[in-house]
Amino acid sequence: MMADQPLKGVRVLEMAQAIAGPFAARTLADMGAEVIKVEQPGVGDMSRRIGPHFLGTESAYYLNFNRNKQSVTIDLRQAQGQEVFHRLVAVSDVVFDAFRPSVLDRLAIDYESLKKTNPTVIACSLSAFGQEGPYRERPGFDGIVQAMGGGMSVTGNAGQPPVFMGFPVGDMVGGYVAALSIASALYGRSMTGEGRHLDISLLDVQIALQGHLGQFYLVSGEVPAPIGSSHPSNLPVGAYQTTDGGYIQVHCASQEFAMKTLQMMAGEVDEL
């Protein structure tokens, strides 16, 4: 937690569930924003029920990704729910959603509708494939964007099937990018007085993370492949088993650093 919270005084309405959206809003809350999580009556965020671990009746998933938030249930399909929601929009700085475009239009919570209530509002839509394009209405979760984005094709050991990351990198990095984009838009509004709509795609973020691999291919013509715990540019790099059955990861960025590492391991020097 930051001592001087930069987003103190900023109010965010969150309409998201599972991991990516709640993580983005949690990041804003950790920076001081007041986050009001809007949940569906009767069921709430789906992560409330996701196992395998629970603290009493509370899912560990839900507790982690929804700290520092307030929660309210609103039925956006009802006129009264719409009225309550737009009253909150009128006094909020940011409206954050993780819906497909058709859902926003159907519930009249799209950016154009929000602007009528609050002309300077910043709206952020986080989805698997973005608000435009042929996949705009397709749902998608972390594993899908890890695979389609190419990350699984370069993870694991050579000659083995693609490997899914041990944590939801697609959801979480997408959430970070959404939070960064919102913070940037808030700064922009402080300069111009204008709101805006942010369109964040989890797939776009995954592809952007691997831009250097695309550049490698353009230069070399070689398709990037998995190399385990090694590195395409540095030596020695890898996970090595120790005599007590554990593992250490060695990563040397230059020949000079590698030689000093070997000298330290041989007991010839005390430190690098």
Q: How far is it, in rounded angstroms, from Cα 17 to Cα 95?
A: 14
Active-site option among 171, 199, 204, 244: 171
Neighbours of 100 (CB within 10 A): 21
SS3 182: helix
Radius of gyration of the chain (CA): 23
The one-letter amino acid code at 255 reads: Q
Neighbours of 270 (CB within 10 A): 7
Contact 213, 223 (CB under 8 A): no
SS3 content of the chain, % helix, strand, coil (to 5): 40, 15, 45
93 is catalytic: no
Q: At residue 214, what are phi and psi to the nearest 5 degrees?
A: -65, -40
**CB neighbour list of residue 91: distance below 8 Å, 6 or more residues apart:** 11
Q: At residue 40, what are phi and psi to the nearest 5 degrees?
A: -75, 130
Active site residues: 171
